[in-house]
């Protein structure tokens, strides 16, 4: 080592998406000692939305890995250290290239007042003075779990002892991350000794599944859910879809389903009741001007929610074309981060699997999610007590009860029903 203090640069988890607070290190593509060019892929990051390759923000030699494969780190937390070429070591202003010295790193730097964006957002949401929260990460740094524990314990947390620091190669416990397998003491559950038989199969939990679990826990723990279900007569909608499906397939080369018709009705109802297109923010309810609908698309391993932007400005045909594109790219693993960002309301066609009723979890931090259930042909009482066989379907709404109440959601669902039942043979789709 040179007599001069060696200068190293931290590479941190970038802010990949609007609602992203953490990511799991999926796979390292470089090892300590490797020389890395700027923009060369360092590793793979897994989020609950997509998996992405992370390029190096600088050129240099990878000195130390701080976050191991399978571990989860907050946005802004360091994942590795890179030594830049001596002639090219600048004073940087880019926060993803913060310069540290190897000597300082070994002496446990004071990280207690360095807050990640995730921590700052939580503190703002819960109106917390972070000076009152004791951090449990390296150097006393505060992570998301510290803040959530502080809130859960009535703003009077008694934190565990900070993790022990080790200066050995690849043993640094980096600030702002926790092992994906660790859970707060209040949430820890021991597996009963008799719960696993000798012939039972153990299915490893993938990083994507762990992140989905984290987001779902966040949804149910932070959002007070309520539910509402209505039944709509979609007979005319089905007739209209049948009328157009062959022409549409010939013209566009894709299949026309009932989904874009339902989505159009939902979007029109959101325009009438814009409070459904909102999010909670401590002292304010933020009503989003643009209607960007997240579409839940399932695969064997997970569910992703790519976004149709400005859905209210699109025709039924336009929605059908964009839906088809998103589904194909989701199932072939070709969605991008930008495809996942900015959703303001979520739609899920659970009827595709034969579901009759759902109680979906809200896509945090949105205010609501709606599901369209399977269409069932059944006898229904119509005019003058006559009975007819009609195509009926349920729609189920999950709502954030901090923002929405039964009255407004009842009006919203009734409006969705009205739009669905107004379709007729004269409705145009272009």
User: How many whole angstroms separate alpha carbon 400 and alpha carbon 364?
Assistant: 10
Q: Are 322 and 295 in contact (CB under 8 A)?
A: no
Task: Say whether 405 is catalytic.
Answer: yes
| Nearest C-alpha neighbor of 114 from the set 161, 82, 77 | 77
> Structure tokens of 32?
């300590």
Which member of 34, 94, 272, 405 is catalytic?
405
Task: Say whether 239 is catalytic.
Answer: no
User: How many whole angstroms separate alpha carbon 108 and alpha carbon 105?
Assistant: 6
> In sequence order, what E strands does 70-172 have?
72-74, 78-83, 99-101
- Phi/psi region, residue 88 (left: phi>0; alpha: psi -120 to 50; beta: rest), is alpha
User: How many whole angstroms separate alpha carbon 255 and alpha carbon 253?
Assistant: 7
Per DSSP, what are the bridge partners of residue 219?
none
Query: What's the full length of the chain, in residues?
Result: 430
Sign of CA dihedral 18, 19, 21, 23: negative
Whole-angstrom CA distances from 293 to 8, 16, 45, 309 are 43, 19, 25, 7
User: How many whole angstroms separate alpha carbon 71 and alpha carbon 181?
Assistant: 8
Percentages helix, strand, coil for the chain (3-state, rounded to 5) are 30, 25, 45
Catalytic residues: 401, 405
């Amino acid at each position: 080592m040179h007599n001069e203090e060696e200068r190293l640069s931290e590479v941190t988890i970038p802010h990949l998406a609007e609602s992203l607070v953490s990511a799991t290190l999926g796979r390292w593509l470089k090892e300590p000692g490797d020389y890395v060019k700027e923009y060369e892929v360092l590793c793979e990051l897994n989020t609950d939305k997509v998996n992405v390759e992370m390029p190096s923000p600088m050129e240099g030699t990878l000195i130390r890995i701080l976050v191991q494969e399978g571990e989860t780190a907050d946005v802004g937390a360091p994942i590795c250290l890179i030594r830049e070429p001596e002639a090219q070591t600048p004073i940087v202003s880019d926060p993803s290239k913060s310069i540290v010295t190897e000597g300082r790193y070994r002496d446990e730097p004071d990280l207690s007042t360095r807050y990640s964006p995730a921590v700052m957002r939580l503190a703002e949401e819960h109106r917390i003075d972070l000076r009152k929260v004791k951090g449990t990460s390296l150097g006393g740094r505060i992570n998301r779990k510290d803040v959530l524990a502080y809130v859960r314990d009535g703003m009077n947390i008694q934190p565990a002892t900070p993790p022990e620091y080790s200066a050995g190669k690849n043993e640094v416990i980096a600030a702002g991350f926790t092992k994906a397998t660790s859970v707060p003491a209040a949430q820890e559950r021991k597996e009963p000794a008799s719960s696993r038989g000798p012939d039972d199969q153990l299915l490893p939990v993938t990083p994507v599944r762990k992140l989905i679990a984290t987001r779902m826990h966040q949804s149910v723990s932070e959002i007070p859910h309520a539910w509402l279900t209505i039944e709509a007569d979609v007979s005319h909608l089905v007739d209209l879809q049948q009328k157009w499906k062959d022409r549409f397939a010939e013209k566009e080369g894709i299949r026309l389903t009932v989904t874009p018709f339902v989505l159009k009705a939902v979007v029109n109802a959101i325009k009438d009741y814009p409070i459904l297109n909102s999010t909670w923010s401590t002292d304010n309810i933020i009503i989003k001007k643009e209607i960007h609908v997240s579409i839940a698309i399932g695969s064997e391993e997970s569910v992703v929610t790519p976004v149709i932007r400005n859905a209210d400005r699109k025709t039924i045909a336009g929605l059908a074309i964009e839906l088809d594109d998103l589904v194909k790219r989701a199932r072939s693993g070709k969605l991008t981060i930008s495809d996942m960002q900015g959703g303001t309301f979520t739609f899920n066609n659970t009827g595709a699997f034969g579901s009759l009723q759902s109680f979906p979890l809200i896509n945090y931090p949105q205010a609501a999610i709606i599901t369209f259930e399977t269409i069932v042909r059944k006898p229904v009482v119509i005019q003058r007590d006559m009975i007819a066989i009609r195509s009926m379907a349920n729609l189920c709404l999950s709502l954030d009860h901090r923002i929405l109440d039964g009255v407004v959601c009842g009006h919203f669902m009734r409006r969705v029903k009205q739009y669905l039942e107004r379709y007729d043979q004269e409705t145009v789709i272009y």
